[in-house]
Structure 1
Amino acid sequence: MPTTVLVAGFRGSMGQKATAMIKRDPELELAAVYSPHLETTDPAAYDLPATTQVFNQLSAMDTPAQVWVDFSTPAGAFENAQFALEHGMTPIIGTSGLSDDQVAQLTKLAKEQHQAGLLVPNFGLSAVLLMQFAKQAAQYFPDAEIIEMHHADKKDSPSGTAVNTAKMIAAGRKQAPETVENPVETIPGARGANYEDVPIHAVRLPGYVAHEQVLFGGPGEALTIRQDSFDRESFMHGLNIAIKQVNRLKGFAVGLENVL
């Protein structure tokens, strides 16, 4: 039997790619879609199979979906994930912007519900490898900065990928980075956001999709690790793996590497 999937935020760029991928895969079934801003719940209006349920209210939802894929908004993703866990669905959250406290709450709820769940900062396999390589490099180069570049429509910054990369750099360090005493920013924010002593610089420009550079500096040398996602289709391989493997998890996890 195919795995049944609900996609929240199905009309966005990532949501459209996700629904197309699910419809192509005979091992998956697009059981339902959800967006709170729909005027009609007729699947034909969205070029969806007649068997796909369409919802615009959580309170009206009654679906056989086993996995909840979320590409909605930072404001809605947390509530959606709570609903999924409380109603027997396994959430896979591709929306960035959740706080550490919200992740902790979802982790606690998943444990209480004996459910699995996954927050994925980036579904691109190249991005997963970048984060792993950055963690290894931080053992030898504790001084690092991140430049993340995304399309102009991305609302939140820094990206979830950049924040997760900073966490992994901090976890990989064996010594503290050098600090500049009494730094002066002639324009506030010039040194970027600081997360775990890793400056993060966010770029939002048309023409970009999702890109990240991690710059490491040491005495007389430097190392740069970079990944580029030129098309959102590149994220679908990782999403497909996550949907099929997520229930092997015990509890709630962060990062695609947990199901690879």
Structure 2
Amino acid sequence: MSDQSLIPVVVNGAAGKMGREVIKAVASAKDLMLVGAVDNNPHLLGQDVGEVAGCGALEVPILNDLQSVLVLATQEAIQGVMVDFTHPDSVYENVRSAIAYGVRPVVGTTGLSDEQLEDLSEFADKASTGALVIPNFSIGMVLLQQAALKAAEYFDHVEIIELHHNQKADAPSGTAIKTAQMLAKVGKTYNPQLVSETEHLAGARGSLAEENIRIHSVRLPGLIAHQEVIFGATGQIYTLRHDTSDRSCYMPGVLLCIRQVTEMTSLVYGLENIL
């Protein structure tokens, strides 16, 4: 396959745990071409991102200027893609910058507000540029959410517990919020109150999402990413759980999104909407 037919890819947050996995996945894909790597770690600037990721030299240095790297993805025959695994504080500006440069963003960073998503959607529409915002790239999580929607037809009581490593910056997770939003669209209000509750410690009952769904967040070293959706009814509990044991499980979803976003002209939220 010639370079002219390869999809150019920029990875933002390239030295992070997810970023390194994306570097390895892109480097091993025959239809993709890694053209840039961005990270703010001052100790890694200028280093070969392949060496940092552990997949061998790729002759792509780590830089800390996103806009200069985005330019590299606009100089190829095929419109480039930016994969973003950075920080909730910077993801909104990162996505706007990518769209402004004509580079299609695939976003795994969570923490975007509803208002920011709406603004980015309008910006992508005006630019006729595809964008994918994916709270969770795991096929298993998509299946869990679909099973939860089916269970919601029969159960009126549900709570969500999400568990992540203690370096995750936002809570609740984007995946848990997305799951609650999906359940809310079933058309019912959950967890009818039977008693007047008192929290002796603020937050003991978790955060309150749409349609009275509670979300509880756990942050501990040793965890990666895990979620439980627990349904309850008289005499029974139905628990759906997804566990991540290695970040490589997200890479098939990431590669699918890179390939599909090049054919899109608007913003799509959620992996289930492109499967």
TM-score > 0.5 by shorter chain: yes
* Structure 1 counterpart of 2:96: 82
Partner Cα distance (1:90, 1:60) in 2: 15
Aligned residue for 1:75, secondary structure, equals: coil
Q: 1:45 to 1:5 in 2, by over 3 A?
A: closer
* Distance apart, 1:3 and its partner CA: 1.1
- Aligned partner (choices 175, 189, 193) of residue 207 of structure 2: 193
> Aligned ranges for residues 48-197 of structure 1 at < 5 Å?
48-50=57-59, 52=60, 54-61=62-69, 62-64=71-73, 66-174=80-188, 176-196=190-210, 197=212
* Distance apart, 1:39 and its partner CA: 6.0
Deviations 1:81-101 (A, max 9, x none): 000011111101101111111
Partner Cα distance (1:223, 1:45) in 2: 44
Q: Which amino acid aligns with 2:155?
A: F
* Distance apart, 1:205 and its partner CA: 1.0
Q: Which amino acid aligns with 1:68?
A: M
Aligned residue for 1:222, secondary structure, equals: strand
* Structure 2 counterpart of 1:221: 236
* Distance apart, 1:53 and its partner CA: 5.6
Whether 2:11 is the aligned partner of 1:7: answer: yes
* Distance apart, 1:26 and its partner CA: 1.1
Partner Cα distance (1:195, 1:252) in 2: 24
Deviations 1:11-40 (A, max 9, x none): 100000000111111111111111244467
* Distance apart, 1:257 and its partner CA: 1.4
Which stretch shifts more, 176-185 or 225-234? Answer: 176-185
Aligned residue for 2:102, secondary structure, equals: coil
Aligned-CA RMSD value = 1.8
Partner Cα distance (2:58, 2:163) in 1: 36
* Structure 1 counterpart of 2:225: 210
Q: 1:211 to 1:17 in 2, by over 3 A?
A: same
Q: Which amino acid aligns with 2:16?
A: G
Consecutive unaligned residues of structure 1, counting only runs of 5 or more, are none
CA contact (8 A) 1:135 1:171 kept: no
CA contact (8 A) 2:48 2:61 kept: no
- Aligned partner (choices 39, 45, 56) of residue 35 of structure 1: 39
Aligned residue for 2:72, secondary structure, equals: coil
- TM-score for both structures, normalised by structure 2: 0.88
CA contact (8 A) 2:166 2:219 kept: yes
Which stretch shifts more, 171-180 or 23-32? Answer: 171-180
* Structure 2 counterpart of 1:258: 273
Which stretch shifts more, 12-21 or 181-190? Answer: 181-190
Q: Which amino acid aligns with 1:256?
A: L
Partner Cα distance (1:223, 1:70) in 2: 35
Q: 1:243 to 1:118 in 2, by over 3 A?
A: same
CA contact (8 A) 1:41 1:56 kept: yes
* Distance apart, 1:44 and its partner CA: 3.1
Which stretch shifts more, 128-137 or 78-87? Answer: 128-137
Consecutive unaligned residues of structure 2, counting only runs of 5 or more, are 52-56, 75-79
CA contact (8 A) 1:141 1:217 kept: yes
- TM-score for both structures, normalised by structure 1: 0.93
CA contact (8 A) 1:77 1:95 kept: yes
Partner Cα distance (1:249, 1:166) in 2: 27
Percent same amino acid at aligned positions?
Answer: 36
Partner Cα distance (2:232, 2:195) in 1: 18
Partner Cα distance (2:26, 2:241) in 1: 29
Deviations 1:142-173 (A, max 9, x none): 32100111112112111010000000111124
